[in-house]
């Protein structure tokens, strides 16, 4: 599956923040359906196209993996409050960067949130860092 609007939003966010997917230490994605995270890891550039399922299945999105994602359980675990999802994601990323998260990613310096709305055309990517963009 393709989510081209997500890919474009991610590329713009990486460009503005002057980072790439390989620089992200922890992420929160909009996993409103079980297929979502598979598509998102591909479109966000965390793995190659068509490799999302095996990437997740091999543990690469768990703490200790290549890119820990939804360290608080994500939408399918903690809930999906319309209008509040992005704030909840931001709080988890800030806790990660401050070293205060319940399930901490050690040494996290850069985090990413992905939120979507509408008919999968509106994607918001925010990149957070412990240091300002230079």
Number of domains in the chain: 1
Domain boundaries, position 96: 4-129
Q: Are 30 and 116 in contact (CB under 8 A)?
A: yes
pLDDT at residue 82, rounded to an integer? 74
Burial class (CB in 10 A: 0-12, 13-18, 19+), 76: middle
Mean pLDDT of 9-28: 98
The predicted-structure confidence for 111-120, as pLDDT tens digits, reads as follows 999 999 877 7
Distance of alpha carbon 105 from alpha carbon 67, whole angstroms: 10
pTM (predicted TM-score):
0.94
pLDDT at residue 30, rounded to an integer? 93
Q: Are 56 and 41 in contact (CB under 8 A)?
A: yes
pLDDT at residue 32, rounded to an integer? 86
Q: Does some domain include residue 53? A: yes
3 has a pLDDT exceeding 80: yes
Q: Does some domain include residue 98? A: yes
Q: Does some domain include residue 21? A: yes
Q: Does some domain include residue 134? A: no
């Amino acid at each position: 599956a393709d989510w081209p609007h997500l890919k474009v939003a991610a590329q713009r966010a990486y460009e503005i923040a002057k980072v790439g997917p390989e620089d992200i230490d922890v992420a929160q994605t909009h996993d409103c359906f079980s297929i979502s995270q598979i598509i998102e890891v591909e479109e966000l550039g965390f793995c190659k196209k068509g490799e999302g399922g095996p990437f997740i299945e091999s543990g690469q999105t768990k703490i200790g993996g290549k890119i820990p994602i939804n360290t608080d359980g994500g939408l399918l675990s903690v809930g999906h409050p319309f209008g509040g999802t992005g704030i909840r994601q931001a709080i988890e990323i800030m806790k990660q960067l401050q070293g205060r998260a319940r399930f901490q990613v050690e040494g996290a310096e850069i985090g990413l949130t992905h939120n979507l709305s509408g008919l999968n055309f509106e994607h918001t990517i925010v990149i957070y860092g412990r240091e300002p963009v230079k």
